[in-house]
Amino acid sequence: MPAPHSLIGRILGGYVVQSQIGAGGMGIVYRAHDERLGRTVAIKILPKKFRADETLRMRFLREGRTAARIDHPHVVRILSAGEEDDIPFLVMEFVDGGSLQRVIEKRHKLALGTALRILRQLAEGLAAAHRVGVLHRDVKPANVLFTREGEPRLVDFGLAREEVSDVQLSQTGMVMGTPHYMAPEQALGERTIDARR
């Protein structure tokens, strides 16, 4: 039996939580087993300290709805979302080849051809997001994961914004994202960030 504070071993929406594989500001990511289909998935859970804040709960679940609209091989697929026992969660494809951040830290640089291939594939994924009106707003090496075959997947749409939205879930004037990787207009806090078709 897992410790009371641990989610390891818990079943959420038919997914058995197995081990923690990552954590960020707005989510903890676990490896999980899909009992129905017998496959490994990743399950992102809103940390306990944020669950009482309805705005943060809405923002977290909106991430799943937003990312699920994007259908592209270089964007991680959202498989399911839900809440169980007051725990909001997102289920996505499991991508286990490491992050671009880890590759850069290990190798310090990429061969030009490799870098261009990754850049092109991610640009195609971002273009697919833009076509459905989704702006990622936090593209950085840590948010690029690789499959075992070396194919990149853009992840973490937690700061994404829909170009046309009737719900304001970000604080007005608050700059969101990772400073070293922001577009200049985003760093300045401008509300006119767009996909630049």
Query: What single-letter amino acid sits at 157?
Result: F
Tell me which residue range forms the domain holding 148.
98-188
CATH number at residue 145: 1.10.510.10
Rounded to the nearest 5 degrees, what angle is found at the Cα of 125, between the Cα atoms of 35 and 30?
Answer: 30
Q: What is the pTM of this model?
A: 0.77
CATH number at residue 56: 3.30.200.20
Catalytic residue, candidates 138, 156, 166, 194 = 138
Report the candidate in 126, 121, 123 with the shortest Cα–Cα distance to residue 137: 126
pLDDT at 190 over 60: no
- Three-state DSSP class for residue 160: coil
Distance, CA of 99 to CA of 155 (rounded, Å): 10
Looking at the fold, whether 62 and 139 belong to one and the same domain comes out as no
pLDDT at 83 over 70: yes
- Total structural domains within the chain: 2
Q: Mean pLDDT, the chain, as a whole number?
A: 82
pLDDT number for residue 170: 46
147 close to 153: Cβ distance less than 8 angstroms: yes
- Residue that the structure tokens 């964007």 belong to: 75
Looking at the fold, whether 75 and 123 belong to one and the same domain comes out as no
- Residue that the structure tokens 């990429």 belong to: 110
- Which has more confidence, 154 or 138? 154
pLDDT number for residue 175: 45
153 close to 72: Cβ distance less than 8 angstroms: no
Domain boundary among 42, 62, 93: 93
Partners of 91 in the beta sheet? 43, 80
Distance, CA of 29 to CA of 60 (rounded, Å): 13
pLDDT band at 77 (very low <50, low <70, confident <90, very high): very high
40 close to 34: Cβ distance less than 8 angstroms: yes
- Residue that the structure tokens 């948010």 belong to: 143
Looking at the fold, whether 118 and 141 belong to one and the same domain comes out as yes
pLDDT number for residue 191: 57
Mean pLDDT calculated for residue range 71-85: 93
Answer yes or no: 138 catalytic: yes
Does 41 reside within a domain? yes
